[in-house]
Structure 1
Amino acid sequence: MKSMILAILLIVAAMGAQAENFKLAFGEPLHSQRDELTVKGRMGWLIKQKLTFGEYRTAMVKRSAIRSWSTGTGFPGTIWVEHMEGRQSIHFSLVDSNNASDVIAVTNVKNNDLMIGSHPERIPGQLVSVFKYNEVQQNNLSVAIYTQRDETPWQLFLDNTGAQVRRKDEVGYVMRGDSYYTIVPIWKMEKKNGQLANIPFGSAGYEIKDTNGKSVAAVSLIDNGKVYLGNANADERFLMANVCAALLLQSDINNP
């Protein structure tokens, strides 16, 4: 993924302008009303890593291989099946002045690692289309986001391969019960004059949309990254901050 982002930056330079003259292009209402938060701590030394953007910061970031399902190493029976031992994971907590989360992400997830079908935590029918091109790919990210203690987690799934080769389609989701958001690759850049330029291949970030297709958040993966949060209530903004943090940190799981 890092090599893909580097290639994108080289393409932007070849278009006749420096990367700072471009920004991600995303939909409304995020385009008109947003907070643009610069990310610190994503690049460089990962021991005792602290990720910060705006009022949000990680209180803990821990990378490890899943040895067994236990209270401290995973969330058994909630999202994943029981044969996830040995997968690489990242466990982190994101905090602001009023909230703290507990988040675990697992890489190289297959479709059959997720609970689909008659299970209470099954994937809803509206999101099954995310999997239709993903039968053989294993480069997937799965995340459980607890925004309050002991509540049902939000589930995040991202098809990393699809994000680069199937960039015009939805490649992931964030869901809990009947509530869900979709994740869409960003492959358009906006110039200072407002004109749009397409990235020839790959994607430079992700846009998160609600059930009505409205853009509520976005994250840039270029360099240290940037987080864009819409004008939502505090709970939704905190959830979106966790989603963006997971997407920013995921490349570090396979590249410690």
Structure 2
Amino acid sequence: MKKNVLKPIVARRSTLLLALLAAAFTACRTAELAVSDEIKTGATAYAVKGRQGFQVGQVLSFGEYKTSQVKRGWTFSYSIPFAARFSGAREKLSFQQLGPGGRSAEVAFVSRFKETELSPLKDYFSLSAYYQNAFAGGIELNGTNEGWEFIVQNVDGGGNSLKNNTLGFVRSSTDRTRIDIIGLRELEGSPKLMTMTNVYGYEFRLDGQTIGAVSTVNNGKVWIKDNLHPELKLVLASVASGLILRTNVEEEALAAR
């Protein structure tokens, strides 16, 4: 009986130790997300500007992609069907995503859902299971009738088991094209055991092929395959911006202490 009582305590201590080791590692060097070799060729890697600093008037940019001033709490974005449906969520982000060729999209993301919204969220995305720590939203491409919806479950990772996956997808509301999102838990040059408790970025996969990635480490970084349609690039840029801008639930809890 005593062994059973001690087991969860030892597990929590092990998780804390791994988190501390990962933090020490990232503090000693500039941490870089470990991405697949597939995205290292035929893709452009963009350094991100605007993540750090004041949130008031915040603008995020990478390469030819730039957001309007980010609004935390909504104004215009209730016009996006998904955003209106889950307007009770405690964290809200909205902005216009600008891209090359004059393309733009209206974007609204939500997280930290109310307890009463979790079951409708599960049904809306036809999920087999759900986590309370989810990040979701809608993207409307200006000048077209096309919209996209997006969700990532267990978005911060939050677990010391590789089975505790961070998974999600972006889907088109017109032709149902689906891009899978996979959480990445490795840093360049760091043993997997030290980093497996956290998610440091996300990879975008279409038909099993990696077409983009985003790092949420330090200032952030975005990779987008060069051969994609410009509108699909804009969708990936929109989701990447949201993932970089969102508040990590665990970081927020630590800051509040």
TM-score range, shorter chain: 0.7 to 0.9
- Per the normalisation by structure 1, the TM-score is 0.74
Give 1:228 shift: 1.1
Query: Separation in 1 of the partners of 2:212 and 2:86?
Result: 33
1:54 is matched by which residue type in structure 2?
Answer: G
Q: 1:190 to 1:179 in 2, by over 3 A?
A: same
1:145 is matched by which residue type in structure 2?
Answer: I
Query: Separation in 1 of the partners of 2:141 and 2:238?
Result: 8
Q: Deviations over 1:43-73 (max 9, x none)?
A: 1111111111111111231111x6xxxx824
- Aligned twin of 1:119: none
Q: 1:7 to 1:240 in 2, by over 3 A?
A: farther
Alignment of 1:141-220 (within 5 A): 141-149=135-143, 151-160=145-154, 163-165=157-159, 169=165, 171-177=167-173, 178-191=176-189, 197-198=191-192, 199-210=195-206, 212-220=207-215
More helix by share: 2
Query: Separation in 2 of the partners of 1:8 and 1:251?
Result: 23
Q: 1:95 to 1:187 in 2, by over 3 A?
A: same
Q: 1:72 to 1:56 in 2, by over 3 A?
A: same
Q: 1:9 to 1:100 in 2, by over 3 A?
A: farther
- Per the normalisation by structure 2, the TM-score is 0.74
Q: 1:84 to 1:8 in 2, by over 3 A?
A: farther
1:19 alignment partner, one of 11, 29, 44:
29
Give 1:172 shift: 1.1
Q: 1:11 to 1:32 in 2, by over 3 A?
A: farther
RMSD of aligned residue pairs (Cα, Å) = 3.1
1:231 paired with 2:231, answer no
Alignment of 1:61-72 (within 5 A): 61-64=70-73, 72=76
Query: Separation in 1 of the partners of 2:53 and 2:134?
Result: 24
1:113 is matched by which residue type in structure 2?
Answer: P
Contact 1:167–1:186 under 8 Å retained in 2 = no
SS state at 1:23 partner: coil
Q: Deviations over 1:189-222 (max 9, x none)?
A: 333xxxx731242111111111x22111111111
Q: 1:170 to 1:179 in 2, by over 3 A?
A: farther
1:242 is matched by which residue type in structure 2?
Answer: S
Contact 2:133–2:156 under 8 Å retained in 1 = no
Query: Separation in 1 of the partners of 2:143 and 2:43?
Result: 28
Q: Please tell me whether Structure 1 or Structure 2 has the larger radius of gyration of its CA atoms.
A: 2
Q: 1:13 to 1:140 in 2, by over 3 A?
A: closer
- Aligned twin of 2:57: 48
- Aligned twin of 1:113: 120
Q: Which runs of 5+ in 2 are unaligned?
A: 1-18
- Aligned twin of 2:10: none
1:157 is matched by which residue type in structure 2?
Answer: I
Give 1:132 shift: 3.5
- Aligned twin of 2:38: 29
Quick one: higher RCO (CA 8 Å, sep 6+), 1 or 2? 1
Q: 1:46 to 1:38 in 2, by over 3 A?
A: same
SS state at 1:181 partner: strand
